[in-house]
Structure 1
Amino acid sequence: MKQPLAFVLALALSTTPASAQEGDESGSMMQRGLELFFEGLRDEVSPALRDLQDMVAEYGPGMRRFLSEMGPALAGILEEVEDWSRYEAPEILPNGDIIIRRKPDEVPEPEALPPAGPTDI
């Protein structure tokens, strides 16, 4: 996630005008150093961006279709569930049904229970 952000930052900074004068050697060295830095950054980020584009091209249409069909039902579930950590990962049954099981409630440890009082026999 950081790599696309870095690429956008690099692209934005590389298109801004240089503040150094043409005749100022230290300014032009700094400008050239920044250019090399951002070129390297762009080269590092390019494969990740290509992978992201490929993934969007592959999964995008299916995700759009899924969200258009299931979106309203999922929104209703999201409103009802307060704590997703109380549920197991979804499970696909052999018949194609998808279930999400609630995790068992934690049972208090025996020493956490209040002591038993005397009993009449």
Structure 2
Amino acid sequence: MKQFLLPAALTALLSSPLAAQDAGEEGNDPSLMERGADLFWEGLRQEMAPALEDLQDMIGEIGPSMGAFLSEMGPALAEIAKEVEDWSAYELPEILPNGDIIIRRKPKENAPAGKEDEAEEGVTEI
């Protein structure tokens, strides 16, 4: 249901100014279909209002801590990003039981037997 509400809300927000312009240009009263559509979108806006308010509250709570995280970790992450040339050459990070995070290089498909040892040396520990 939530997957339907977001696109519907966006459509409602974008279509209401257009509907108001059309009705004002013609000078006629809106048709029964137009009034029904307006009532539908208004009801949808009222249904979405609490969810949007909750989202704003959540962003207000998370925002300061996210800013602090980015100010502390941002420079370190930027340095790591400069050193890695091709992210697709690495597997997903793995967290070990002791808390270490390792990122392994993906094995090369057609590498000779001696080259596999080099791939193991490519383990980056954070």
TM range (shorter): 0.5 to 0.7
1:67 alignment counterpart: 70
Shift of 1:74: 1.2
Q: After superposition, give the CA deviation of every residue in 1:49-92 in whole Å (9 maximum; x if it has no partner).
A: 46644653554333222211111121222233333232222222
Match of 1:11 in 2: 13
Q: TM-score, normalised by structure 2?
A: 0.54
After TM superposition, the structure 1 = structure 2 runs for residues 49-64 of structure 1, keeping only pairs within 5 Å, are 49=52, 52-53=55-56, 56-57=59-60, 59-64=62-67
Question: What residue in structure 2 maps to residue 117 of structure 1?
Answer: none
Structure 2 gap ranges (5+): 112-126
Task: Name the SS for the 2:13 alignment partner.
Answer: helix
Change (3 A) 1:2 1:23: closer
Higher helix fraction (1 or 2): 2
> Residue 22 and residue 28 in structure 1: after superposition, are their counterparts in 2 closer, same or farther (change >3 A)?
farther
- TM-score w.r.t. length of structure 1: 0.55
Contact 1:3 / 1:48 at 8 angstroms: preserved in 2? Answer: no
Instruction: Answer yes or no: is the 8 Å Cα contact 1:87–1:103 preserved in 2.
Output: yes
Gaps of 5+ in 1: 109-121
Root-mean-square deviation (CA, aligned residues, Å) is: 3.6
How far, CA to CA, are the matches of 1:65 and 1:45 in structure 2?
31
